A and B are shown apart, each in its own frame.
Chain A
Amino acid sequence: MAAIEVETLEKSYGNLKAVDGISFTVNEGEVFSLLGPNGAGKTTTIEVLEGLRDLDKGKVKVLGYDPWHDGYELHKKIGVIPQGFKFLDYPTPKEAINYYGTLFGVKVDANELLKRVILEDAANIWFQNLSGGQKQKLGMALSLVNDPKMVFLDEPTTGLDPQARRAVWEVIRKLKGEGRTVMLTTHYLEEAEELADKVAIMDHGHIVAMGTVSDIEGKYGSGQKLSVKGNMQLVTYLKENTHLQPEWDVNGTVSIHLRDKDDAIVALGAIEESGADWRDLVVRRDSLEDIFLRLVGPAGKEAEEGK
């Protein structure tokens, strides 16, 4: 059964079309990741799904509810960490969880919940004195107070150090293990590769690619590449003596696109025969990051367009 159904969703702010007719489905128990650069429309999409914003056009169902009109019922069944999670300065994590428990009218074991999000050591520290990672973990704990079927995590690891990010990933894996549906927005592609069952890449309000990570790599990637550190002599030798089309970049990396296994054997033989000085042989597929950059453009493209 679909946990989320989105059909031709549109949302504008004045003349700016933040979301422009996107459609997708998220199945129960999936971790679905929305990727995209800043301003792609991720947060607007997720806020419409959470019932925090009304849509202009289209149709949205979350756990069978219309999020805007049935928000009160829906919110009992979902957990949310908004982007840049902030909370009141003075409750401790334990107090905050008990407060949320009272609001939702549920009995909650604060200590157990803190253990689940790996925050038991900071149970009695005021929110304002928690580290960035601890604050995010509290946000996750609060989103779980009502034992939700579905959790929305809007850039939960932005601004965190690598260690804190890994800890949050661990919590997300636990949520997935418990069979909860997770909607994750991030601009860390590594995060989506690590955690997501399905990925949608957004740009300028559109979904430009969607599917599993391997689906996207297969569909939008350019196959395998062999690369070595070498010089122009090696590039010239390969061009003159093989059918391969090597590329050389300013860092001294020679890249050769491989169509099949035979290309790999030819390339390796020619490199060795060239007599050129080479090292650091690597064979790899296009990463999600390569594909992302190809689809939404290199960093700074937005700034260029904005000029």
Chain B
Amino acid sequence: MAFSSRRMLAELKVYARGNLRSREGFFFTLIFPIILILLFGAIFSGGSGGPATVYVQNHDQGIQGVNIGTQFIHSLNMSYAESVNSTFPNHQNIVPALKLVGVPAGDNFTQYLSSHSSSDGIVIPSDFSVAYVAHQKVNLTIYGSPTSTTSAIVSGITQAFVNGFNVYGATGVHAVGTTAKTAVSSSYKYIDFLVPGLIGFAALTSPMFALVNISSTYRRDKIFKLLSLTPLTKTEWLLSKIIWYIGTTVVSFILMSTVGIFLFGAHITFGWGLGLFLILGPFFFVSLGMLVGTISNSPESAAVVGNLVTFPMMFLSGTFFPVQSMPMWLQGVAHVLPLFYMIDGLTNVMIYNNYAPALFDAGVIFVLCIVTFALAVRFFRWRED
């Protein structure tokens, strides 16, 4: 039986039409990707681009009409965070690093923080000016939370200014200016990692769930038997699904990237390497879904096996957070999950513009594609012995 693109396109047309006519198909193709990026973008990226709010209580009594504590606060208020993106070397985000909010000296500081749902604050002691002028040791109290990322930023910036004041106090030289820049810890924003992760997520879930379901229900409803009585071949049928899901992944990519860039300010490069992953990813997951559905006895068992295969990949492959932030043993697990290579490759292309590791990732998926597609076609049967 010779391959026929005419038959494959007829099958693609019927399947595409069915997907767009069904509410579920329409939702998962066009609406779900937007919801995903909006939801996770809002949860994880909210406020990350703006200055960290810090509550400051100044008890400093001053000395000879001069209040060093007030000068310190003024200096902090003039600090800026410079975010440098290596993908866009000429693009720099200069934003205020801290937003200082004064707390009346008579208020209980910890209660004040609690009532404002904050954990970040600085308290300047009453003898700050006196001790500073006398070159005596004096401590600022910095409030923070070990679980808060902004606390680390507040602490880092404050420490830098303390050092600056120390140098100035010791040498009389204005070593650290009041407009000193403080680089934040990362040059990438969370949304930059989230976009490739969610594109990988869409490339995994949509074809996997659909193919696992189709391969078992079509067998139950004897639709495969019906198709086996036509000249359509298994390869043509499977390729039509692969083409459809490459299309839906590209649509997801466009929607997510658009929302990511314009709503959350994501920085993404659009290199040719993207095409590799937008083709190889769905190709692999369609074949894998078909294989899982084919080796299962019923739609119910197919759903269970499908979930067992899909869920670890969803959460451990760097979809919602970088794999590097996971414990070492979990990172080892991630490296055996195919979705890891898809997301790692997309991240390398879209964020770092780094093609050497991306090509390795693509190579891994390519090999998996060939093996899984061959196994799916081999074990997927139209008719019974």
Interface residues of A in 35-71 (CB under 8 A from B): 50-54, 71
| A211 CB-CB contact with B under 8 Å | no
Q: Is the CB of A104 within 8 A of B17?
A: no
| A91 CB-CB contact with B under 8 Å | yes
Q: Bound state CA distance, A51 and B385, in angstroms?
A: 10
Q: Bound state CA distance, A53 and B222, in angstroms?
A: 13
Q: Is the CB of A54 within 8 A of B6?
A: no
Q: Is the CB of A52 within 8 A of B228?
A: yes
- Given A52-B383, A87-B223, A89-B22, A103 and B17 contact (CB-CB distance below 8 Å): no
- When distances are taken between beta carbons in the complex, the residues of chain A under 8 Å from B18 are 88-91
Q: Is the CB of B14 within 8 A of A75?
A: no
Q: Mark B16-50, 1 if CB is under 8 A from A, else 0.
A: 01100110000000000000000000000000000
Secondary structure call for the A interface: loop
Closest residue of chain B to A56 (Cβ to Cβ) is: B385
Partner of A103, one of B7, B22, B383, B385: B7
**Shortest beta-carbon distance, B176 to chain A, in Å?**
69
- When distances are taken between beta carbons in the complex, the residues of chain A under 8 Å from B225 are 52, 82
- When distances are taken between beta carbons in the complex, the residues of chain B under 8 Å from A102 are 6-7, 10
Q: Bound state CA distance, A72 and B7, in angstroms?
A: 15
Q: Is the CB of B229 within 8 A of A75?
A: yes
| B90 CB-CB contact with A under 8 Å | no
- When distances are taken between beta carbons in the complex, the residues of chain A under 8 Å from B223 are 86-88
| A220 CB-CB contact with B under 8 Å | no
**Shortest beta-carbon distance, B17 to chain A, in Å?**
6
**Shortest beta-carbon distance, A47 to chain B, in Å?**
8
| A14 CB-CB contact with B under 8 Å | no
- Given A72-B231, A90-B21, A51 and B383 contact (CB-CB distance below 8 Å): yes
Partner of A126, one of B13, B21, B229, B230: B21
| B134 CB-CB contact with A under 8 Å | no
Q: Bound state CA distance, A228 and B225, in angstroms?
A: 51
- When distances are taken between beta carbons in the complex, the residues of chain A under 8 Å from B22 are 89-90
- Given A51-B383, A89-B22, A91-B18, A76 and B226 contact (CB-CB distance below 8 Å): no
Partner of A50, one of B221, B229, B230, B385: B229
| B107 CB-CB contact with A under 8 Å | no
**In which size bucket is the chain B interface?**
20 to 34
Q: Bound state CA distance, A172 and B228, in angstroms?
A: 23
- Given A91-B18, A102-B6, A84 and B222 contact (CB-CB distance below 8 Å): yes
Q: Is the CB of B226 within 8 A of A95?
A: no
- When distances are taken between beta carbons in the complex, the residues of chain B under 8 Å from A87 are 223, 226
Q: Bound state CA distance, A86 and B223, in angstroms?
A: 7
Interface residues of A in 78-119 (CB under 8 A from B): 78, 80, 82-91, 95, 99-100, 102-105
**Shortest beta-carbon distance, A87 to chain B, in Å?**
7
Q: Is the CB of B222 within 8 A of A91?
A: no
Closest residue of chain A to B383 (Cβ to Cβ) is: A52
Q: Is the CB of A53 within 8 A of B21?
A: no
Q: Bound state CA distance, A89 and B20, in angstroms?
A: 12
Q: Is the CB of B384 within 8 A of A105?
A: no
Q: Bound state CA distance, A126 and B20, in angstroms?
A: 13
- Given A86-B222, A89-B22, A90-B22, A53 and B231 contact (CB-CB distance below 8 Å): no
**Shortest beta-carbon distance, A127 to chain B, in Å?**
10
Q: Bound state CA distance, A129 and B223, in angstroms?
A: 18
**Shortest beta-carbon distance, A33 to chain B, in Å?**
21
- When distances are taken between beta carbons in the complex, the residues of chain B under 8 Å from A72 are 1, 231
- When distances are taken between beta carbons in the complex, the residues of chain B under 8 Å from A89 are 18, 22
- When distances are taken between beta carbons in the complex, the residues of chain A under 8 Å from B276 are none
Q: Is the CB of A91 within 8 A of B17?
A: yes
Q: Is the CB of B232 within 8 A of A103?
A: yes
Interface residues of B in 187-201 (CB under 8 A from A): none
- Given A52-B384, A53-B383, A103 and B222 contact (CB-CB distance below 8 Å): no
- When distances are taken between beta carbons in the complex, the residues of chain B under 8 Å from A71 are 228, 383
Q: Bound state CA distance, A247 and B117, in angstroms?
A: 96
Q: Bound state CA distance, A54 and B223, in angstroms?
A: 19
Interface residues of B in 218-266 (CB under 8 A from A): 221-223, 225-226, 228-232
Q: Is the CB of B6 within 8 A of A105?
A: yes
- When distances are taken between beta carbons in the complex, the residues of chain A under 8 Å from B11 are 99, 103
Interface residues of A in 261-278 (CB under 8 A from B): none
Q: Bound state CA distance, A95 and B14, in angstroms?
A: 8
**Shortest beta-carbon distance, A56 to chain B, in Å?**
10
**Shortest beta-carbon distance, A92 to chain B, in Å?**
10
Closest residue of chain B to A101 (Cβ to Cβ) is: B10
Q: Bound state CA distance, A95 and B16, in angstroms?
A: 13
- When distances are taken between beta carbons in the complex, the residues of chain A under 8 Å from B383 are 51-53, 71
- When distances are taken between beta carbons in the complex, the residues of chain B under 8 Å from A76 are 231
- Given A90-B22, A126-B21, A75 and B230 contact (CB-CB distance below 8 Å): yes
Q: Is the CB of A103 within 8 A of B21?
A: no
Q: Bound state CA distance, A176 and B50, in angstroms?
A: 80
- When distances are taken between beta carbons in the complex, the residues of chain A under 8 Å from B222 are 82-84, 86
**Shortest beta-carbon distance, B299 to chain A, in Å?**
14
**Shortest beta-carbon distance, A67 to chain B, in Å?**
10
**Shortest beta-carbon distance, A146 to chain B, in Å?**
8
Closest residue of chain B to A145 (Cβ to Cβ) is: B230
Q: Bound state CA distance, A72 and B4, in angstroms?
A: 14
Known: A75-B229, A95-B14, A105-B231. 13 other contacts (CB 8 A): A51-B383, A52-B225, A75-B230, A80-B229, A82-B222, A89-B18, A89-B22, A90-B17, A91-B18, A95-B17, A99-B13, A103-B7, A104-B230
Which residues of A are at the interface with B, using a C-beta cutoff of 8 A? 50-54, 71-72, 75-76, 78, 80, 82-91, 95, 99-100, 102-105, 126
Q: Which 7 A-B pairs have the closest CB atoms?
A: A102-B10, A90-B18, A86-B221, A90-B21, A103-B230, A52-B383, A75-B229
What are 8 A-B pairs at a CB distance below 8 A?
Answer: A52-B225, A52-B383, A71-B228, A71-B383, A90-B17, A90-B21, A95-B14, A126-B21
